[in-house]
């Protein structure tokens, strides 16, 4: 369940920061009863941006499939990655 706090709670930034790190999810801030801001920890932000990047790449791959771009062989891709990263 999302964490929702009124704008007045921003006066205690330590409390909001603690909430962000405890919940590991965004904290929604309301103003006059309506959604106004979203606050989150840097860790949560980084994870959200990483997921967004994955979704964008999946979407691009789906578009390539739809236009007939040939697929790469999975084993070849993993072999190249292992050589590149020394595993």
| 45, 21 contact by CB (below 8 A) | no
pLDDT score recorded for residue 86: 78
Domain span(s) for CATH 3.40.1620.10 in the chain: 3-40
pLDDT score recorded for residue 30: 97
| 27, 39 contact by CB (below 8 A) | yes
Give per-residue pLDDT as tens, 28-83.
999 999 999 999 999 999 999 999 999 999 999 999 999 998 888 889 999 999 99
pLDDT score recorded for residue 72: 85
CA-nearest of 32, 41, 42 to 3 is 41
Chain CA centroid to CA 60, Å: 18
Indicate if the pLDDT at residue 12 is higher than 80: yes
Indicate if the pLDDT at residue 87 is higher than 80: no
| 44, 25 contact by CB (below 8 A) | yes
CATH of domain 3-40: 3.40.1620.10
pLDDT score recorded for residue 71: 82
């Amino acid at each position: 369940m999302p964490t929702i706090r009124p704008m007045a709670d921003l006066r205690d930034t330590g409390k909001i920061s603690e909430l962000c790190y405890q919940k590991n999810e965004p904290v929604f801030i309301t103003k006059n009863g309506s959604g106004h801001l979203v606050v989150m920890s840097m860790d949560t932000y980084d994870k959200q941006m990483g997921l967004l990047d994955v979704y964008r790449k999946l979407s691009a791959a789906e578009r390539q499939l739809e236009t007939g771009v040939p697929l790469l062989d999975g084993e070849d891709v993993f072999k190249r990655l292992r050589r590149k990263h020394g595993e």
